[in-house]
Amino acid sequence: MNVHDSEKMLGILHGQGYARAESPEGADLIIFNTCAIREKAEQKFYSQLGRTKMLKRRRNEVKIAVAGCVAQETKERLFGRAPYVDFIVGPQNIHLIAETIGGERRTALLDDNRELASTEVAARRGSEIKAWVSIMFGCNNFCSYCIVPLTRGREVSRPSSAIIAEIRSLSEKGYKEVTLLGQNVNSYCSDITFPQLLRRIDALGIERIRFVTSHPRDLSDELIRAVAELPHVCEHIHLPIQSGSREILSRMNRGYTYEEYMVKIEKIRSEVPHVSITADVIAGFPGETSRDHEETLRALRAIGYDGIFAFKYSPRKGTKAAEMDDRISDEEKSLRLGEILKLQEEITLRKNRALEGTVQEILVEGPSDTDGTLLMGRTRTNKIVTVAGDGYVQGSFVQVFIEQARHHSLSGKPLPC
Ligand code: 5AD
Ligand code: SF4
């Protein structure tokens, strides 16, 4: 979401005559687009911000802006902590970035701003093949550990007509894939529902449609049917479980039990053949006993995700969980996280191995990060595949015979067309 917010700010500023600088040293304006989801992200920002102090000392005319969730959370106090910061703009006001940096020094735009959803912004995207497309902003869920509702505000959906117009234009420009973005896409609410929106987008003909993130409580039968039926909607669902323990899920205020979650998983698997399912998991939530942790491990074994993102719980000021006792030591959190990751590595490898000897369609994205002589693409199920790269251009679809599975990717041979 933050990457796409940056693309939007870049688009707006481009319209004002700015161009992207190659390095902070050569820039007239430096924008930090910050994330506050965990303490680590915040620390990274502060250490990078500290480095710009020297830049500002050398060239006082350089403008420094701080955007995103740390800006929203810290508010004007950030000017006190880092007096060389010129502007602050919260995530609900990024469409006003030009006005912010055109204003007086020490301007802060931090109001709740629902206009964001009805303001059209021409993003300057980093890819010419795959595009992020916002469909809604904010979150009404208040999971007890999460800072997002406090920084991004209440849910507001973008009009379906604007979303459809944007995707039609991306398709005309040659984009092959869109990922619809929202904190909880299932509660998209405009003149149509989220599954109806998917149907309209599918009819536009863009080859691949993805979406993140689905909240398990709100994942409807209608949505599962849409994923099963619509040819362009990819067979991949990211469905964060967070924990396998009933008690912890309740204290997280997630609104479902492990059993209810499992019913959805079974439904997805029975209706969408070859679907891949991924999730987020938090290790060491306050009060998590070793038994709760075992229940998470048991859930991972039972569900058999294609992949997960797992994190150590990080207390966030202002959230309910930050007030809860029974904090787990950092060492214990690391141990639990390590066990979760190790177990999932084995499961992912087993899942990937099952694809050896099959043929998968990939969308070629470009040279592989690990070996520039190879090309990298993704399957519809979002698995990374590398292939020897002669004669295939970025944005093409290639049928690949999968020869080898690894922990985080597959490799294979392209089939002759
Ligand atoms: N600590 C650790 N992980 C968190 N997440 C959100 N808030 C926290 C936190 N305070 C994780 C959740 C969410 C993902 C985007 O980040 O797993 O699904
Ligand atoms: Fe945070 Fe929960 Fe909203 Fe996701 S659904 S953004 S975890 S409050």
The per-residue DSSP string of 375-396 comes to: EEEE-TT--EEEEE-TT--TT-
Q: Which ligand has its closest atom nearest to the C-alpha of 35?
A: 1
Give 366's strand partners.
376
Ligand 2 pocket check for 139: Cβ under 6 Å: yes
Start-to-end CA distance of the chain, whole Å, equals 36
In percent, the amount of the chain with pLDDT more than 70 equals 100
Confidence tier at 77 by pLDDT (50, 70, 90) = very high
Ligand 2 pocket check for 212: Cβ under 6 Å: no
Res 393 pLDDT > 90 = no
What is the reported pLDDT for 369? Answer: 87
Q: Are 166 and 121 within 8 A, CB to CB?
A: no
Tell me, what DSSP letter sits at residue 233?
A: B
Query: Averaged over 163-189, what is the pLDDT?
Result: 97
Query: Going from the N-terminus, what domains does the chain have, and what CATH number goes with each?
Result: 2-111 (3.40.50.12160), 359-414 (2.40.50.140)
Q: Are 91 and 111 within 8 A, CB to CB?
A: no
In tens, the pLDDT along 321-371 reads 999 997 899 999 999 999 999 999 999 999 999 999 999 999 999 999 888
Ligand 2 pocket test: pick from 38, 145, 150, 184 the residue with the most ligand atoms within 8 Å of its Cβ.
Answer: 184
Tell me, what DSSP letter sits at residue 207?
A: S
Ligand 1 pocket test: pick from 145, 213, 296 the residue with the most ligand atoms within 8 Å of its Cβ.
Answer: 145
3-state secondary structure of 115: helix
Res 231 pLDDT > 80 = yes
Res 389 pLDDT > 80 = no
- Cα–Cα distance for residue pair 147/320, rounded to 1 Å: 10
- Cα–Cα distance for residue pair 235/220, rounded to 1 Å: 16
Closest residue by CA, ligand 1 atom 17: 280
Question: Among 120-129, 292-301, 305-314, 363-372, whose mean pLDDT is lowest?
Answer: 363-372
Ligand 2 pocket test: pick from 38, 146, 254 the residue with the most ligand atoms within 8 Å of its Cβ.
Answer: 146
Residues with CB under 6 A from ligand 1: 37-38, 145-146, 240, 242, 280, 282, 311, 313-314, 316
Q: Which residues, including other chains, have CB under 8 Å from residue 235's CB and lie 6 or more apart?
A: 227, 272, 273, 274, 275, 276, 380, 381
In tens, the pLDDT along 168-179 reads 999 999 999 999
Ligand 2 pocket check for 90: Cβ under 6 Å: no
Phi/psi of residue 280, nearest 5 degrees: -110, 145
The model's pTM: 0.96
Closest residue by CA, ligand 2 atom 4: 183
Q: Which ligand has its closest atom nearest to the C-alpha of 285?
A: 1
Q: Which ligand has its closest atom nearest to the C-alpha of 282?
A: 1
- Cα–Cα distance for residue pair 38/16, rounded to 1 Å: 33
What is the reported pLDDT for 207? Answer: 98
What is the reported pLDDT for 307? Answer: 98
Closest residue by CA, ligand 1 atom 14: 280
Res 392 pLDDT > 90 = no
How far apart are the CA of 170 and the centre of ligand 1, in A?
Answer: 31
- Cα–Cα distance for residue pair 128/124, rounded to 1 Å: 10
Query: Averaged over 145-168, what is the pLDDT?
Result: 97
Q: Which residues, including other chains, have CB under 8 Å from residue 270's CB and lie 6 or more apart?
A: none
3-state secondary structure of 169: helix
Neighbours of 80 (CB within 10 A): 9
Q: Which residues, including other chains, have CB under 8 Å from residue 129's CB and lie 6 or more apart?
A: 174, 175, 176, 177, 363, 365, 394, 395
**Number of residues in the chain:** 417
Q: Are 100 and 110 within 8 A, CB to CB?
A: no
